């Protein structure tokens, strides 16, 4: 995917970054279908994933939020989940708000 390669190469424009973020959110939802965790990557997108109790009103109890660059790094394996949490690059609230074991979705090219 050209947008993802541009982001990883450091030459992405805003539209390419948005496309890469949305693509990776779609991949996460396909890998871990469900509605118990909401992953937010403002301003480009959000998805619900991980099987479990469904939440339908207001803010879900299990929310993960991060910035676009961190999301791409996590989803491609350039950044580990524990490392991102320790650096406060990811905000995770709720007992199920953990993507360790689901990431990376794709491997970053070497």
Global pTM value: 0.89
pLDDT value, residue 9: 79
Q: What is the pLDDT along the chain (110 residues), one digit of tens a residue?
A: 788 777 877 878 899 999 999 999 999 999 999 989 999 999 999 999 999 887 666 666 899 999 999 999 999 999 999 999 999 999 999 989 999 999 999 875 54
Domain membership of residue 39 (yes or no) is yes
- Please tell me the predicted confidence (pLDDT) of residue 55: 66
pLDDT at 90: 98
Domains of the chain: total = 1
| 99 part of a folded domain | no
Question: Residues with Cβ < 8 Å from 13, sequence gap 6 or more?
Answer: 6
Residue 104 lies in a domain: no
Asked if residue 47 is part of any domain, the answer here is yes
């Amino acid at each position: 995917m050209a947008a993802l390669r541009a982001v990883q190469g450091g030459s992405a424009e805003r539209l390419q970054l948005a496309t890469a973020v949305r693509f990776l959110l779609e991949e996460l939802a396909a890998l871990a279908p469900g509605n118990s965790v909401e992953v937010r990557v403002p301003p480009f997108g959000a998805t619900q994933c991980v099987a479990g109790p469904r939440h339908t009103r207001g803010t879900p109890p299990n929310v993960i939020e991060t910035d676009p660059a961190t999301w791409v790094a996590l989803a491609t394996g350039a950044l580990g989940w524990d490392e991102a949490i320790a650096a406060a690059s990811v905000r995770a609230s709720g007992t199920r708000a953990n993507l360790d074991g689901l990431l990376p979705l794709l491997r970053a090219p070497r």
